[in-house]
Amino acid sequence: MTGDDISARFAALPALVNANTALVRRGRFLSDTFLTGTPDLPVYITVRHGIVEAVDTGPALMRSWTFAIRAEADAWRRFWGPMPPPGCHDLLAMARYGKARIEGDLQPLMANLRYVKEVLEAPRRARIEAAAGASS
């Protein structure tokens, strides 16, 4: 997976998340911008009341964010795989094993942890659902 593939997966988040009414409802208390992506490809995700309003890719001078979840491209590739290996199956596991860094104001992250996890797992779910649909 190249940087373009990773960028495309993050860019698909608004469509994947906003179409999931249960997920939007789960995130209704989160209205923030958080940083994710790789060290070379920063991705700013803006959420308003559970709706992903924007995904902006690329460096931005003095762009603010509340919390950050960053990992190397290889870690994201494994995380989005259909059967992620141990240590890459969950955001907190990735941080625990040194594959991701979580920083910033952790209160909004922890208060909305399930929502944030499901937002970032959306590309994996979409691939699994597409594969299941293709095999039926």
84 contacts: CB under 8 Å, gap ≥ 6: 78, 124
Query: Residue 128 falls within a domain, yes or no?
Result: no
- Look at residue 136 in the predicted model and tell me its pLDDT: 60
Rg of the Cα atoms in the chain: 14
Among 56, 30, 60, 61, smallest CA distance to 43 is for 56
Residue 13 DSSP label: H
Query: Residue 26 falls within a domain, yes or no?
Result: yes
Domain containing 9: what range? 3-123
Query: Residue 132 falls within a domain, yes or no?
Result: no
Average pLDDT, the chain: 93
The dihedral of CA 43, 11, 67, 82: what is its sign?
A: negative
CA distances from 107 to 13, 110, 129 (A): 23, 5, 32
pLDDT in tens, 71-95: 999 999 999 999 999 999 999 999 9
Query: Residue 130 falls within a domain, yes or no?
Result: no
Query: Residue 131 falls within a domain, yes or no?
Result: no
What mean pLDDT do residues 120-124 have? Answer: 95
Q: What share of the chain is helix, strand, coil (3-state, %, to 5)?
A: 45, 25, 30
pLDDT in tens, 44-60: 999 999 999 999 998 88
- Look at residue 1 in the predicted model and tell me its pLDDT: 52
Q: Does 8 score more than 90 pLDDT?
A: yes
Residue type, 63: R
Residue 5's Cα: distance from chain center in Å? 14
Q: Looking at the 3D structure of the chain, how many domains does it have?
A: 1
Query: Residue 68 falls within a domain, yes or no?
Result: yes
**CATH label of the domain that carries residue 22:** 3.30.1050.10
